[in-house]
Amino acid sequence: MDSTRSGGFDGSENLIKAAADYANIPEFLAESTCLVLATIGLDGKLLKANVGADYVFFADFSDDTCVSNAFVNPTFAELTRLAELPAMESDGAVVFEGLINVGNPALMVHSLNGRILRLQNSLLVIAEHDVHQLINLNQKVVDLNNELANAHRKMAKLNREITAEKKRTEQLLITDQLTQAPNRFALNRRMDEEISNFERHRKPMAFALLDIDKFKSVNDEFGHDVGDEALVYLADWLKGRLRETDFFARWGGEEFVIVFANTSVDEAQLVLDRIREALASEIFEPIGRPLTFSAGILEFEYDMTLDEVFKQADKALYSSKEHGRNRITRVAKSK
């Protein structure tokens, strides 16, 4: 430690004299946070302090506040040892000049540039914040803000990716991977919604169960790849010809389900018949002949369970198969 080094702090004689008589300190200095101005007894008690000194010493000012531990470099013990030297006996003697580190090491240490003078039985601290430290601190704040902004951007991007992945996963859960039609899980979810709507509004709803005629023969004669093509072909055919309000799903195997919301069974059968007739008039190239389907259709009635709906539709579908295929059988309404 060099107590004689000259620093960038140019304390004027008038300021020193004013500081010695604290009552004469101009108000702007007393309220300044840039300037640290304090009188400290040789026992370490803070006698007088302006706002800037009060801040760096982490002390709510009182006449008996001990701040000796706030001196990091030089330490207060080093300062009092220098102050006791014979050369420092006169008022205004410069005990230390240069960089002064003060504060609470566990929280924050301030780097000050200034002088510490001997005044009778006390030390007068006149210092200003080290500009270089403030510039470095400001740059660190800027860097931290940039890092925080980058972190926020990365987090936002990650959240978007997670949201997109969640949507993809949810879509996989409700989509048949072969035909890309809604699957059984999606159908069960949709039926819960439609049954709830039916119970609230009592608007008609029809339900159809259909499957490809002689699908086993297609697999046996042309192979399972062609069978898969037939399933995709029928799914695309239904998707392109059903109304926006209709919902269809692959139930399993060669079976598909269609839910006709807000539709009577008469209207639903007309829609399905048009689709069936159009399909039967087109050649499915992989097998060189038309692909046809048979179906059972019914109108949903109050208090019917989903299991009952499927059982009745399946019986009607079986009847269509028994009576020549490529036809639709309607379930009679209960009385």
26 domain residue, yes or no: yes
Q: For residue 225, what is the domain's CATH number? A: 3.30.70.270
Average confidence (pLDDT) over 49-57: 84
Query: Over the stretch 118-146, which tens digit does the pLDDT of each residue have?
Result: 988 899 999 987 667 667 777 888 888 88
Q: What is the pTM of this model?
A: 0.58
Q: For residue 92, what is the domain's CATH number? A: 3.30.450.20
Residues 191 and 114 in one domain: no
Which domain, by its residues, includes 252? 172-330
264 domain residue, yes or no: yes
Clarify whether 254 is annotated catalytic: yes
121 domain residue, yes or no: yes
Is 87 or 148 the better-scoring residue by pLDDT? Answer: 148
* Cα angle value 275/222/277 (rounded, 5°): 15
Helices 265-280 and 224-241 sit at what angle, rounded to 10 degrees? Answer: 130
Per-residue pLDDT at 325 exceeds 50: yes
Residues 300 and 177 in one domain: yes
Calpha distance 22→38 (Å, rounded): 9
Query: Over the stretch 221-230, which tens digit does the pLDDT of each residue have?
Result: 999 999 999 9
165 domain residue, yes or no: no
Q: Which of 229, 254, 255, 299 is catalytic?
A: 254
Q: How many domains does the chain have?
A: 2
Q: Which of 268, 314, 270 lies closest to 295, judged by CA?
A: 314
Q: Which of 3, 272, 250 lies closest to 118, judged by CA?
A: 3
Query: Over the stretch 205-255, which tens digit does the pLDDT of each residue have?
Result: 999 999 999 999 999 999 999 999 999 999 999 999 999 999 999 998 999
3 domain residue, yes or no: no
Is 102 or 17 the better-scoring residue by pLDDT? Answer: 102
